[in-house]
Amino acid sequence: MRVLLAGLLCILFFSCKKLFTYNANEIQIDEKDKNQNIQNIERLRSKTQNASFRFAVITDTQRFYDEMDDFIEKINAYPDISFLVLVGDITDFGLKSEYLWICHRLQKLSFPFIVVIGNHDMLGNGRELYKQMFGPENFGFSYSGYKFIVLNSNSQEVGYDGSLPDTSWLQQELSATPPQEKIFVFAHLAPFSGDFDRSLEQAYARTLTNKGNVLYSIHGHEDISYLGQSYGPPVNYLVVNSLRARTFVLINITDNGISVEEVAF
């Protein structure tokens, strides 16, 4: 009887072990879910690029899974959305399960998506999970004559040690951008956020202003909606409200200029 029981337990263990997560801090991501930002940028580049286009922005989706489902249903019904940017805090505790819950919802979108790392996404092993699932924390890409730059600005999670945001990398990325390309910058923390490294605030703002062709610096984290030129022209600072507010932002680019619209769902 004991031998039979041991055999049954052995069969059960080996047949079912893939169904269980043994450690809440597990960091191994399946191949199909890796490098989502890289894959989606390639998808975006394969699209027809027009002078007029629009993209959507959301932020702080942690815990708001019902709201995320409703948002995806809403935005998929919109025509001519080129891509979505999620400006960080896709998770609450940086857990693999949380990453997967949001990633698998994003994969239901009918257009490409880009995900920025947030401060919550760096908790525990979250920073390593982000790198596996989405790729580099700092990167840039071009689309329809515009440059889009993404960077990690989560200073608090590294103890305000001066490494985040990486203003040297940002300066290099801006310098490598042709002057005719107008620029959007995305980072979870705005430079005026209470959690941003105060020693880097002016350097960040000055770097964007001095480039001359940066149009917007776009952020989340604050659970408010804000648009203004916080450090003077020409850079517009946009803070997008949490998805808990059941709103998203549409940025429309046409020959007549750029408009920013907050949409409720």
Structure tokens at 234: 């020409």
Element (H, E) at 210: helix 198-211
Please tell me the predicted confidence (pLDDT) of residue 10.
45
Please tell me the predicted confidence (pLDDT) of residue 142.
97
Please tell me the predicted confidence (pLDDT) of residue 55.
98
Please tell me the predicted confidence (pLDDT) of residue 11.
41
Please tell me the predicted confidence (pLDDT) of residue 192.
98
Q: pTM for the whole thing?
A: 0.89
How far apart, in whole angstroms, are the C-alpha atoms of residue 247 and residue 240?
9
Q: Which of 209, 207, 211, 204 is nearest to 177 (CA)?
A: 211
Domains and CATH numbers, the chain: 32-264 (3.60.21.10)
10-residue block means of pLDDT along the chain (265 residues)? Answer: 45 40 67 95 94 97 97 96 98 97 97 98 97 98 97 98 98 96 98 98 97 97 97 97 98 96 97
How far apart, in whole angstroms, are the C-alpha atoms of residue 157 and residue 106?
25
